[in-house]
Amino acid sequence: MMNYKDAGLSDKEYAAILKMLGREPNELETALIGVMWSEHCSYKSTKPLLASFPQTGKAVAQGPGENAGVVDCGGGWGLAFKVESHNHPSAVAPYQGAATGVGGIVRDILAMGAKPAASMDGLFLGPPDAGKSAALAAGIIEGIAGYGNAVGVPTVGGKTFYDPCFEDNPLVNAFSSGFVRLDSIVSSKTAAPGDLAVLLGSKTGRDGIAGASFASRELNEDSAASRPQIQIGDPFEEKLLIDCCLELQHKGLIASMQDMGAAGILSSSSEIAHKSGAGMEIFCEKIPLREQMEPWEIFLSESQERMLLIVNPDKYEAVKAMAEHFTLECAIVGNVTAGDRYRVFKNGSLLADLPLSVLGDAPVIPWPAAEPKNLAQRRTLPSGLKTADAESDLLALLASPEGRERRHIWTQYDCQVQLRTAEWPGAPVSAVFAPESDNLVVFSMEGKPWKCWADPFTGAAETMALSLRNLHVSGAEPMGMTNCLNFPSPENPENFHDLTECVRGLSEVCRDMECPVVSGNVSLYNETPRGGIYPTPVVVTAGLVRGSERYIRAGAAKEGDAVYLVGPAEGSLGASRWQILRSASSRSKPQGATTPYNAENERRFASRALETSRKGTADSARAIAGGGLGAALAKETIACGTGMELQAPDGSLTAALFGEGGPRAVYFVPAEREEAFNAIWAGYPAVRLGRVGGRALTMKGVFSLSLNQLTAAFHGGTE
């Protein structure tokens, strides 16, 4: 017999339910409320924080509140995009957890009426030389490849990060995007009384039952016990589902559409009704099942490859015929009604009768926040940070798990299916062609756990600012951002402080830089008995390059190009790759706040970077990120296959070469365009370091590394 605590409800929440209903809920009603009030479905810990994000902007066609955000990318086309987490499932069953994460985010894009066009993945893993981490990583990568390749959506880039804090609790943040005509965006708010609720796709089974509740608590020691809560994906069924739904939309046969993700048919049907100001009736006996199931199992199942359609009765036969053409299950499972009731029936018997406001409006939890006792220590940069051998340090950075190439990951992915891909994985940004134009849509995914641990506000601000810098340097004007907030338990006041400060950092940069937040996800309780993860907000910004000839590609420097460093000569060594590399222990925690955020400097950098693109004054460029200037120069040398002859920047050699943070970039400028380049960057720090040429990366008096040495370090390790 299920009680309210089995459903994940607290004493205080159950008391609130009794007050709302004026009675005790029955067992099924308790289960329904429990899953809809789970952290994963309700965002009850973060709603007030998320409200601080700017949500409107000149390119925004659809902001938060739908399955994904949509921005206007020109020519009547919109870009739908979103990132979501599948962390707990991937820790327990890495292949299926990651695979179904891809499937779920693709369906979120489909639910907007968009054809999925490009995916990315954010992977935060334990040390690659640890047996458990290696096994988890292999399964996760195979799951992403196995599903994404088969479903026909290219994986065009991503982010991979390694630290011991993710050893038992890896993060898998799945991003997807797609294109939709702006006049054909599907909304979840357009159901009307008399419409039919139609289930399209796979039959419902016991896989994934209560997955939303599972994702809303800490992982325990016995992860095997959680395997029944992991969904099982079928990408070939999903491909049929995508094609069928797009055809139904094109023919005007559906009024609304919703992915059956967390909480399955319950969340999809109740959310559509609640957002539309209507009621809903669902009939258990009409739901196609793979096996005998109890009503609570049916409603909490997260079986994959299913969509809920809202259909006018006059159009149902055409919908059913289309489903048969694609060999998909199709069944009327309920009705949209007038009023505010969510009712569940089985063979004429009423099993549950709840106000939709109860299901859809979980009370916010005002968790207390307390500044961590060790925050001052975390923010303090260790003394005596100075390179003893810059040449050895640079090679070590390139060969480290954080610095080396990711070819062994992305070569498992189909990066070019659909033939829109304009940039290969491994570049600072990802890019695809927009429909019916020569414009490029550019994506930048960033996550900085070390910096967010050392100082949550500054670290999150740097995460967001760097993502924007990557776009600006490539020539892309930002259209919007989506994010996934990955944190440990909010019930710990120090954790909630870190979460609050990270959101404040992201929000401030987004407001200052006019980059609205159009969608997102929150993943809490990322911890095990061994401890929690670092604060890890992951952001993906989307930008538009108006004409592919304006796109500045990294790795395209040419013999004879002048090498310019724009921005301050020095970066911060706080929580940097170099600092961790030089630590005495591989499990040392990062220390030192990164470069303070300065909105005016970011705007000055952004405007000049975009003008550099518009006027075509550079052959190649890259924002300075992990590993600092030294890593940026080395990666450019490897990518373009030509050496460089340089002078060291002024200031501290260690901070100049290996410091991170702040609006800094390296540009590679043809001699005939140097005057125009310098005119653009007048009033902002810009120093000529030297020229491209030779067969070695040489910085006079500091190091000289051959192309072979650099390439061997960058390509030599395996994870």
| Residue numbers annotated as active site | 40, 86
Residue 183 token pair? 């006049």
Task: Print the SS3 string covering 641-656.
Answer: CCCEEECCCCCCHHHH
Residue 403 token pair? 């610095």
The Cα–Cα gap between 25 and 22 comes to: 9
Instruction: Say which residues have a Cβ less than 8 Å from residue 374's Cβ, sequence separation at least 6.
Output: none
Q: Is 289 left (phi over 0), alpha (psi -120 to 50) or beta?
A: beta
- Residue 697, SS3 per DSSP: strand
Residue 303 token pair? 């079986």
Find where tokens 């338990």 sit.
489
The Cα–Cα gap between 165 and 487 comes to: 12
CB 338 within 8 A of CB 279: yes
Find where tokens 């289309």 sit.
322
Identify which of 60, 183, 47, 46 has the alpha carbon closest to the alpha carbon of residue 482: 60
Beta-bridge partners for 397? none
CB 291 within 8 A of CB 205: yes
What distances in angstroms separate CA 274 from CA 16, 21, 277, 360, 459, one per listed residue?
A: 20, 17, 5, 7, 37
Q: Is 43 left (phi over 0), alpha (psi -120 to 50) or beta?
A: left
**Geometric angle at alpha carbon 82, from 509 and 213, rounded to 5°:** 105
Give backbone dihedrals phi and psi of 299, rounded to 5 degrees, phi first: -75, -25
For the chain, how big is the Rg over CA atoms in Å? 26
The Cα–Cα gap between 393 and 398 comes to: 9
Q: Dump the DSSP string for 489-536.
A: -TTSHHHHHHHHHHHHHHHHHHHHTT--EEEEEEE---EETTEEPPPE
**Burial, 180: exposed, middle or buried (Cβ in 10 Å; 0-12, 13-18, 19+)?**
buried
For residue 111, the tally of other CB atoms under 10 A from its CB is 26
Long-range CB pairs of 345-349 (<8 Å, 24+ gap) are 345/281, 345/282, 345/283, 345/284, 346/283, 346/284, 346/285, 346/295, 347/284, 347/285
Find where tokens 């000149």 sit.
58
- Residue 487, SS3 per DSSP: coil
Q: Which amino acid would we find at residue 76?
A: G
Identify which of 50, 77, 85 has the alpha carbon closest to the alpha carbon of residue 65: 50
Packed helices 235-250 and 131-151: angle between N→C axes, nearest 10 degrees: 40
Residue 573 token pair? 């060594």
What distances in angstroms separate CA 586 from CA 320, 379, 577, one per listed residue?
A: 58, 20, 12
CB 459 within 8 A of CB 451: yes
The Cα–Cα gap between 563 and 689 comes to: 5
**Burial, 159: exposed, middle or buried (Cβ in 10 Å; 0-12, 13-18, 19+)?**
buried
The Cα–Cα gap between 665 and 581 comes to: 23
What is the H or E stretch that residue 211 is in?
helix 211-214
